[in-house]
A and B are shown apart, each in its own frame.
Chain A
Amino acid sequence: MDFSRINNKNKNTGKDIVTFNKKKFRFSDWFAEKVIKAVAFLSIAVVILIFIFVFREAFPIFKMDKKTSASTVTLVQESYGGSGTENSTVKKADNQVNNSNIINATDEKPSATLLSNTWMPVSDKPRFGLWPLFLGTLKVTLIALLFAAPISIMAAIYTAMFAKPRVREIIKPVIELLAGFPSVVIGFFALMVMATVFQNIFGYASRLNAFVGGIAMGLAAIPIIYTLTEDALTAVPKTFIEASLGLGASRRQTAFYVVLPAAVPGIFAAVVLGLGRIFGETMIALMATGNAAMISMNPFDSVRTLSATIGAEMAEVVFGDTHYNVLFLIGSLLFIFTFALNAVAEFYFKNLVIRRYQSKK
């Protein structure tokens, strides 16, 4: 830049330094844009990498059936747990089992046991039956949802429809603080306090069970369902509400016949995302459900969920072992399921909401 131009008060005599008839290449702008675009792709890359790497480690189970590729499975004898060396003996045993499994593939194939009723991964004849885990997860999820969904939706209705503005400004952040409680803290609370209290009330046999775990997981889902429901309720146009109230309807009637119907897709999306949170919750499941893989319909029996199984056993398995692969298979299933839930909440419900409010533009 020519300073004389800037100081020059008579603009007519000054030379034109700034010209725009030719595109100027600005390195910093070009570079910044390239970097920003490249980095933004990272999120996509991470999702794809998660897909690839979680599925990749699960894949050998199916390969093993075709005996040809059994030799490609590499066995590495190290621990991948944080727990140090105290279980090395178990691992050696494991490893031998695994070796024999592959060598005498005439035995029951590990993948064939996936649909059996027994989850017994560490034994002479390991069985990887997923049904007890599925059932356990289902039970806990159902209990959690039956607890969390109604209470969160009711609380959201109170916040959006009945609370005075000043009260609302207190309630909302307080409930949202629950989202900041680490799940290990909720799990600890369930383990130490809720388990005992519930046992005293209901008098059941096993202290840690699907019920305690379900309620505790429900606590983790409450802030999600509450916040999203509240958003859905307040997104209902004010004019609808005013029209209803203006016609002499009470706030309850307005809530029931005007606001709730209009907010249904948003509330469903909230519940679906809460479901995803419950389904994948690991620490609370590990700490509060008792972790016994059994087939039972009793809500007061101990259960073992899919995610808790990964959390509990991954630290003890051998890299590349069948057990290791099965745990990754469970991970893949969890991933597919939450991915699908998110996709449904994102596309289906969002489009519903958009259609409801914006179609009559």
Chain B
Amino acid sequence: MNRNVKDTIFEGLTGISVLLIIFIIVSILAITIVGGWPNLNWTFLSEFPKDGMTKGGIFPAIVGTAVMTIIMAIAAVPFGVITAIYLAEYASEKSVIAKIIRFAVKTLAVVPSIIFGLFGLGFFIGFIGKNMDGLLNGGELRWGQPNILWASLTMALLTLPVVIVSVEEAIRTIPREMREASLALGATKWQTIRKVVLPGSVSGILTGTILAVSRGAGEVAPILFTGAAYFLSNLPHSLSDQFMSLGYHIYIMSTQSSNVDATQPIQFATTLVLLLLTFSLNAVAVTLRYRIRKKAK
């Protein structure tokens, strides 16, 4: 075959791959929008499910997802930021401990999300919760069962690497000259971190937080048995209550509800809400990160 023909075919094939991926992305978006849009209105967003979840809205699932991701972020962001500071500012390149920490972070990033669920069940509920009940409640069951706190903390572990990676990347874009300027003025290392490094990585911390929230809002496997509930007639009142979540709601409605076909509009609309949420969060994060990278160059 002629070389030019081969070149054209190969380039065409690679181009088609790109188009196919983009086509799939667009299809998912388009079908979800077309399927979900007609049912998406204020009542749907603001009402509880009704009539055995065949009618009504998804208000408790929205609130549950929001509360869960907030608790998750409160737990994950400080730990993530501090770990990133350690890796970027305190650990030397050759330190074995830093290498182990880095490997641990990567491991956390690739461990299947269902394993976090198992861990949440075994550790938070079966170990911490049970012992809390033994100590605080005289053995009466309160913390030793699934609830929003354990689900959020489980999710926090899952999203910890997301925060660490984003923040470390941002910290590393701060030029060495800035740190040297501060240190040469007699600032201590911690003063330099607090006054120069952290203010310079605000957008990175923000990116990491948004990505973590987006990831946490969409994950279902870790909360399957650590706190998500099929249906609740009340919003969670305390950290020891269960909660409804958007992702879990989609799963339940599309696979286990009594009449899957009849509730299809609800399923599509819920998916659209979740997708809009994660999609817009990601879009913001990607833009922010892109800017940080550009600035670094």
Interface residue ranges, A against B (CB under 8 Å): 18, 26, 28-29, 32-33, 35-37, 39-44, 46-47, 49-50, 53-54, 56-57, 78, 80-84, 150-152, 154-155, 157-159, 161-163, 171, 173-178, 180-189, 191-193, 219, 222, 226, 250-253, 255, 273, 276-277, 279-283, 286-287, 307, 310-311, 314-315, 319, 327-328, 331, 334-335, 338-339, 341-343, 346
Contact = CB atoms under 8 A, between A and B. Distances in A.
B145 A78 contact: yes
B255 A280 contact: no
Specify the main secondary structure of chain B where it touches its partner. helix
B61 interface: no
A327 B117 CA distance: 12
B231 A310 contact: no
A287 B282 contact: no
29 contacts: A26-B190, A32-B190, A36-B85, A40-B86, A46-B104, A50-B116, A53-B127, A158-B11, A163-B18, A175-B21, A177-B282, A177-B283, A180-B282, A182-B219, A184-B218, A252-B10, A253-B3, A277-B110, A280-B111, A280-B112, A280-B115, A287-B251, A287-B255, A310-B114, A311-B221, A311-B224, A314-B117, A331-B114, A334-B112
A235 to B, nearest CB: 15
A112 B227 CA distance: 33
Interface string B91-119: 10000000011011111101111111111
Nearest to B193: A32
B103 A49 contact: no
A47 B104 contact: yes
> For A157, A173, A181, A184, which residue has the most chain B Cβ atoms within 10 angstroms?
A184
Contacts of A335: 111-112, 115
Contacts of A311: 114, 117, 221, 224
B17 interface: yes
Nearest to A31: B190
Contact of B107 (A57, A80, A342): A342
Nearest to B219: A182
A282 B188 contact: no
Contacts of A157: 14
A339 B107 contact: yes
A44 B104 contact: yes
Contact of B225 (A176, A187, A226, A314): A314
Across the A-B interface, give the 5 residue pairs with the lowest CB-CB distance, nearest first: A280-B112, A182-B218, A180-B282, A158-B14, A40-B86
A53 B250 CA distance: 29
Contacts of A187: 251
A342 B102 CA distance: 12
B291 interface: no
> For A40, A42, A335, which residue has the most chain B Cβ atoms within 10 angstroms?
A40
B230 interface: yes
Interface in B266-297: 267-268, 271, 274-275, 278-279, 281-283, 286, 290
Given A54-B122, A185-B278, A251-B7, 8 more contacts: A36-B82, A42-B83, A50-B111, A154-B16, A177-B279, A192-B35, A273-B110, A307-B221
B202 to A, nearest CB: 18
B4 to A, nearest CB: 8
A35 B82 contact: yes
B248 interface: yes
Contact of A154 (B14, B188, B223): B14
